[in-house]
């Protein structure tokens, strides 16, 4: 029997948890085929881990129980070649958390999203989505140039090219790498895709970007605010619905703002539940240093036509180039950041939209102005509510939103609230500077 003389090629089975952190276990790549059907072990209480890696004290699981992290073969990501020729390939499978007999485990965010996508299918609808990520690149050796500048792009050297190469190797359909408004701030986008793959892809963008930076001796910060006064890092979720045969269902050229009746009900559902949704899409103390007026990040629950101060934005369609308009048309959910689990956040937005469709909610709160420029009575007349100002408020709003909570598995909610309360206790006495520092080191 021969023994290996160098590092064994490894593959990982991963789950991206309720705190949006990708965790998992690794095994020899040669052993993956044997393990695909049974996965690897996992511990229920891991789901109650705060981003600070402390398991919430009052979580429902304690030291009991065993789960399996079951890889999804279709989600396999492999990046063979990065900038460091000696670095091992990045190779992992997204997985679902299941009981040892394969029964789905209700706290798994990827399972929640899959089940929600299935509910849309029952309504004859498919979901197309793309997540845009902003982040700060750390460790560049030289002065970096201004907002959106070519100089800022060039200052990043081969980093953008390697990120897009790695995303291409990963099958993530990369679209654009751009210098953003903030100093050292960049953005990477991938093309839209369907269902759970869209949230897997959001994880892949984060992990691939981190991996390329690591291989180049650089660092990344996806946290929504790196330091008080800096430009914020958002995650924007673009969503549209189609019939099962692919016919676009959000676009209607005859209607105001081209919003179909379905899109109006869907948007109304998202707006109705938006203040509470923030507890799942902007879920940390540092998220609320971003969700303020004039950050282009959204501070009010309203729908805006191409308006970047609106929480839900009707995106432009481009008639140049001859691409069909209806296929481009989508709504962008902006009060989201990279401290959220992409699977949980996307599932929550979809649930809210579906409730709007099922209840045929009328659409209010449409504003083409900066909602902060209106006075309180004008906002009230339009039905525009403020988003929560703190994590504590957001959690209370979620707890009080019985219709939304009724759609989430009780065990998931119980674990989530336990974890977030622990996180609140860990951050309550920190200054804004300290909150920014802590989360910059975690995301």
Q: Which residues bind ligand GLU (CB under 6 A)?
A: 134, 231-234, 290, 295-297, 308, 334
**Beta bridge partners of residue 161, listed in sequence order:** none
Q: Between residues 199 and 235, which has the closer beta carbon with respect to ligand GLU?
A: 235
Give min distance, CB of 291 to ligand GLU, in A. 9
d(CA 339, CA 394): 14
d(CA 186, CA 178): 6
d(CA 423, CA 420): 5
What's the token pair of residue 166? 């790695």
Give min distance, CB of 134 to Mg ion, in A. 5
Q: Between residues 341 and 415, which has the closer beta carbon with respect to ligand GLU?
A: 341
How many CB atoms lie under 10 A from the CB of residue 364?
17
Residue 308 interaction partner, one of ligand GLU, Mg ion, none, beta carbon < 5-8 Å per kind: ligand GLU
Stretch that binds Mg ion, among 59-67, 161-169, 181-189, 303-311 (CB under 5 A): 181-189
Residue 272 interaction partner, one of ligand GLU, Mg ion, none, beta carbon < 5-8 Å per kind: none
Determine the residue with CB nearest Mg ion.
187
CA angle (212 as vertex; 210, 214 as ends), nearest 5: 65
Strand residues in 154-246 grouped as ranges (E): 174-179, 185-190, 193-194, 219-221, 235-243
Q: Between residues 187 and 372, which has the closer beta carbon with respect to Mg ion?
A: 187
Q: Between residues 187 and 370, which has the closer beta carbon with respect to Mg ion?
A: 187
Q: Between residues 220 and 232, which has the closer beta carbon with respect to ligand GLU?
A: 232
Half-sphere exposure of 304 (CA within 13 A, CB side): 23
Q: CB of 202 within 8 A of CB of 343?
A: no
Q: Kindly state the helix (H) or strand (E) to which residue 152 belongs, with its residue range.
A: helix 150-155
Give min distance, CB of 284 to Mg ion, in A. 20
**Beta bridge partners of residue 242, listed in sequence order:** 126, 248
Give min distance, CB of 282 to ligand GLU, in A. 10
Residue 264 interaction partner, one of Mg ion, ligand GLU, none, beta carbon < 5-8 Å per kind: none
Give min distance, CB of 332 to ligand GLU, in A. 9
- Tokens 């692919």 locate to 246
Q: Between residues 32 and 137, which has the closer beta carbon with respect to ligand GLU?
A: 137
Stretch that binds Mg ion, among 186-194, 345-353, 374-382, 422-430 (CB under 5 A): 186-194
d(CA 208, CA 170): 9
Question: In sequence order, what are the residues at sequence separation of 6 or more whose Cβ sits closer than 8 angstroms to the Cβ of residue 317?
Answer: 251, 258, 325, 328, 329
Q: Should residue 187 be labelled a site residue for Mg ion when binding is judged by CB under 5 A?
A: yes
Residue 296 interaction partner, one of Mg ion, ligand GLU, none, beta carbon < 5-8 Å per kind: ligand GLU
Q: CB of 95 within 8 A of CB of 15?
A: yes
Q: What string marks each residue from 137 to 176 as x (binds Mg ion by CB under 5 A) or -?
A: ----------------------------------------
Q: CB of 170 within 8 A of CB of 204?
A: yes
Instruction: Please report the DSSP string for 327-377 in residue order.
Output: HH--EEE-S--TTS-HHHHHHHHHHHHHHHHHTTPPP--B-SS-GGGS-HH
Q: Between residues 175 and 187, which has the closer beta carbon with respect to Mg ion?
A: 187
Give min distance, CB of 284 to ligand GLU, in A. 14
Give min distance, CB of 329 to Mg ion, in A. 20
Q: CB of 209 within 8 A of CB of 163?
A: yes
Q: Between residues 92 and 288, which has the closer beta carbon with respect to ligand GLU?
A: 288
Give min distance, CB of 234 to Mg ion, in A. 7
Q: Between residues 173 and 187, which has the closer beta carbon with respect to ligand GLU?
A: 187
Q: Between residues 212 and 225, which has the closer beta carbon with respect to ligand GLU?
A: 225
Determine the residue with CB nearest ligand GLU.
234
d(CA 93, CA 110): 13
**End-to-end Cα spacing for the chain:** 43
SS3 135: strand
Give min distance, CB of 315 to ligand GLU, in A. 11
Q: Between residues 115 and 187, which has the closer beta carbon with respect to Mg ion?
A: 187
Give min distance, CB of 296 to Mg ion, in A. 8
d(CA 97, CA 95): 7
Residue 290 interaction partner, one of ligand GLU, Mg ion, none, beta carbon < 5-8 Å per kind: ligand GLU
**Beta bridge partners of residue 305, listed in sequence order:** 314
Residues in the chain: 443
Residue 297 interaction partner, one of ligand GLU, Mg ion, none, beta carbon < 5-8 Å per kind: ligand GLU
Residue 232 interaction partner, one of Mg ion, ligand GLU, none, beta carbon < 5-8 Å per kind: ligand GLU
Give min distance, CB of 185 to ligand GLU, in A. 8
Q: Which residues bind to Mg ion, rule: CB under 5 A?
A: 187
């Amino acid at each position: 029997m021969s023994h290996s003389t160098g590092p064994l090629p490894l593959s990982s089975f991963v789950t991206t948890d309720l705190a949006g952190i990708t965790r998992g276990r690794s095994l020899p790549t040669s052993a993956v085929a044997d393990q695909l059907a049974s996965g690897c072990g996992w511990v229920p209480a891991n789901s109650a881990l705060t981003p600070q890696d402390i398991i919430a004290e009052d979580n429902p699981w304690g030291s009991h129980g065993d789960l399996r992290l079951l890889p999804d073969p279709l989600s396999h990501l492999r990046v063979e070649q990065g900038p460091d020729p000696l670095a091992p390939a990045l190779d992992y499978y997204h997985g679902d958390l299941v009981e040892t007999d394969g029964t789905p485990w209700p706290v798994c965010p990827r399972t929640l999203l899959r089940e929600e996508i299935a509910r849309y299918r029952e309504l004859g609808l498919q979901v197309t989505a793309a997540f845009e990520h902003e982040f700060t690149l750390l460790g560049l050796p030289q002065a970096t140039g201004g907002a959106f500048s070519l100089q800022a792009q060039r200052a990043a050297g081969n980093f953008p090219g390697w990120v897009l190469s790695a995303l291409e190797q990963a099958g993530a359909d990369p679209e654009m790498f751009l210098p953003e408004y903030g100093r050292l701030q960049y953005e990477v986008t991938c093309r839209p895709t369907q269902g759970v793959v869209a949230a897997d892809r959001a994880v892949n963008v984060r992990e691939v970007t981190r991996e390329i930076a690591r291989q180049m001796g650089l660092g990344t910060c996806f946290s929504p605010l790196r330091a008080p006064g800096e430009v914020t890092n958002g995650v924007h979720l673009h969503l549209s619905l189609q019939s099962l045969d692919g016919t676009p269902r959000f676009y209607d050229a005859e209607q105001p703002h081209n919003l179909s009746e379905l899109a109006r009900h869907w948007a109304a559902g998202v707006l109705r539940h938006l203040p509470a949704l923030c507890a799942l899409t902007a879920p940390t103390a540092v998220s609320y240093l971003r969700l303020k007026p004039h950050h282009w990040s959204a501070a009010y629950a309203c729908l805006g036509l191409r308006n970047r101060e609106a929480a839900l934005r009707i995106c432009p369609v481009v008639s140049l180039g001859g691409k069909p308009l209806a296929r481009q048309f989508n709504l962008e959910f902006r009060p989201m950041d990279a401290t959220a689990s992409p699977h949980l956040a996307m599932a929550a937005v979809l649930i809210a939209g579906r409730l709007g469709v099922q209840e045929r909610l009328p659409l209010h709160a449409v504003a083409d102005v900066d909602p902060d420029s209106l006075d309180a009575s004008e906002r009230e007349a339009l039905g525009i509510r403020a988003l929560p100002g703190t994590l504590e408020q957001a959690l209370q709003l979620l707890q009080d939103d019985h219709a939304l909570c009724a759609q989430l598995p009780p065990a998931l909610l119980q674990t989530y609230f336990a974890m977030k309360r622990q996180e609140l206790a860990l951050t309550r006495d920190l200054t804004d500077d300290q909150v920014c520092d802590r989360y910059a080191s975690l995301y």
